[in-house]
Amino acid sequence: MNKSKYITILFFIITISIFSPIKAHAIETFNNINEPAITNIILRSKSSFNVTLSRVSDVDGYYIYNIEDDGSLTLLKTVNDNYTSHVTLKGMTYGRSYRLTVKAYKLSENGEIITSNYDPNGITKKLNVSTRYKKGLKYYYDADGKIIKDVEHFLPKKRKYMIKVNTKKCVVTVYAKDGRKGYRIPVKSFICSPGKYTSSGTFTVGEKYRYRSLFYNSYSQWTAVIHGNILFHTTPYKSYGNNNSLDVAEYNKLGTPASHGCIRLQCEAVKWIYDNCKRGTKVVIYRSKNSGPFGKPKFAKLPKWHKWDPTDPTAIKKCQKHNCKHL
């Protein structure tokens, strides 16, 4: 090769090296297993994260690791199934930064554990919380400056709450008391279905019922009286005490006015009120164009065959059996 050709080739290589963009980590297949991913990390408390996984097919479970400074992996949790997308990591150290990654695994015919590849960059999250006031409310922020939209586990266990129901935007927001400043801590929010003519006003939580008959041969789980015949209750079921008889068409109306005046909620939400809000808890029903401090929660409709509420803790095995994507 003459000198001029050598210089030309060398210049081409240098140009490609300098001006080509750095590629992000590519999703790979290793041992015939697709590589899973961590898609989101949310602070749950001062000692735990909620982690969302992107699942892959034909595996038996997942290993969640922390990537140490030297690149080695420390196992944090084993998920022994392939239907869980949302995982809680407990026992974490407050103030520490974690770099999380995940491998999928499956058992071979001879009992050998085969694992997928993993993202060596991971997702970094620092377990640190700060608070600040905005428009009179006290918000909790993570280390990235994002508002934490469920702060229940950052508060003392014995805490009094107030419930506000925005019937215009179909959102229920729970507030906790901030000392003598009143109920200024937004705790969590739920999507709901009020009635078109649900009355505004200030009321208190009354009697509670594990199961309750509603109008027109429909039934509810975890019911709490607001006033008179106005209740917090689940979306209707067609059979009393049967969590596999959900009226799917009515469930899919959540987020819109659909009841006869009551406040319909998903099972997880109304059960939380049932478990955590004592009789006498203040309930404020109002109308506003403002969805509230956390906005309106996202909601996914169900197919017709899904005859149970996906947030119902008593029906979790049904979702596992059908490998529901929302898990």
User: What does the alpha-carbon distance between residue 266 and residue 246 come to, in Å, rounded to a whole number?
Assistant: 11
Q: How wide is the angle at C-alpha 317 spanned by C-alphas 313 and 323, nearest 5°?
A: 115
Catalytic residue, chosen from 170, 262, 277, 319, is 262
Task: Give first-to-last CA distance, the chain, whole Å.
Answer: 62
Nearest of 219, 185, 202 to residue 281 by alpha carbon? 202
Distance of CA 155 to the CA centre of its chain: 18
User: What does the alpha-carbon distance between residue 316 and residue 302 come to, in Å, rounded to a whole number?
Assistant: 15
Catalytic residue, chosen from 25, 86, 153, 233, is 233
* Structure token digits, residue 11: 């210049």
The Cα-based distances of 278 to 8, 141, 225, 231 in angstroms read: 79, 28, 11, 14
Respond yes or no: is residue 233 known to be catalytic. Answer: yes
Respond yes or no: is residue 170 known to be catalytic. Answer: no
* Structure token digits, residue 236: 């209707």
Q: Which residues are catalytic?
A: 233, 262
